[in-house]
Structure 1
Amino acid sequence: MLFNEVGVCLPIIPTETQTPKVDFRKYVAIWDTGATHSAITKKVADDLGLKATGIVEVRYGDGKSSTNTYLVNISLPNKVMVPHVRVTEVKLIPDDNISDDKQLQLLIGMDIIGLGDFAVTNVNGKTVFSFRIPSVEEIDFIPSAQENNVMDSGNRHARRVIQARKK
């Protein structure tokens, strides 16, 4: 699972003349590329005193249901704030091995992930993910993986072609 701590607050609109003080509450979030939209638990909605902005039908593996939607600002670990995110209320399955204050309370979906560059690496058994907004460049591991495979193979001609491209 890919998770970290993010901040959530009521939606604010900064003005040119005044920068409002923002009171972010910290929650543990899971990053889910299979989720179209971001979501929060009822605990987050209650903690922040959020008022539902609507109701939406949510589809999942077992079927569908109607749930509340809310508007929030989300502060990511890289200090980027994503304003006015429409989130749905969900029930996330608690982990019995984790204390209540460390339980997942937020799901970051493709509505946020799609705003930037998202990469996952696993070196020496340590999984690391990185995210930035805005998207800066395409991240594609395939060309370097193919190059490594060719350079490790016994195909001299293919190695020469790759070495010639680098010059």
Structure 2
Amino acid sequence: MNLEVFEGASTAKEAVDAGKRARQQRFSLYADLHSPRGIRALFKHLPDAECHALANQITQAMQDRGGFPEFLARKVEEAAGLPFGYLDQPYPYPELRASLNRAKRLKRMADARGEAAVGAVGKRNFEQLEQACFGYRGVSEAFYVKAFAKLRKLPKVELFYAQKLRELDEIRRG
């Protein structure tokens, strides 16, 4: 685990909780980028009972504010065929950068379409997109293609562009 994860922690419990939250974020990124069909699709190679049990454990850990415990991270790494400690390391930069770029492109496109974009993409997908702009979640190529196709069908909101032009003029004037 990188030291930045523990920055600001004044007790051992705070440091452990920070590590759990960091693992949770890294798993979300991994799942978003490598399994657009959901958590169970990551483990479809496992027997049904084992896949179901692991998916339930992950879902409970993701919903818990406590985060992703180390034992579960090791279990997930083994089941997904990831190297030991993968969820304790920073996400691979090239994949993260590509995801961030896709997210920012989609977010600009969604902003230009106004409130209708949330309905077109879906509320949960839109939340994922917003979080992906900050690196907390991911935007896979499949997600990008689907969302792009849905957003492209929507008309652009002219008020958005007028507002952006006014903001640019104010910046230029200083």
TM over 0.5: same fold? Answer: no
Calculate the TM-score normalised by the size of structure 1. Answer: 0.26
Higher helix share: 2
Higher strand share: 1
- Alignment TM-score, normalising by the size of structure 2: 0.26
- Structure whose alpha-carbon radius of gyration is higher: 1
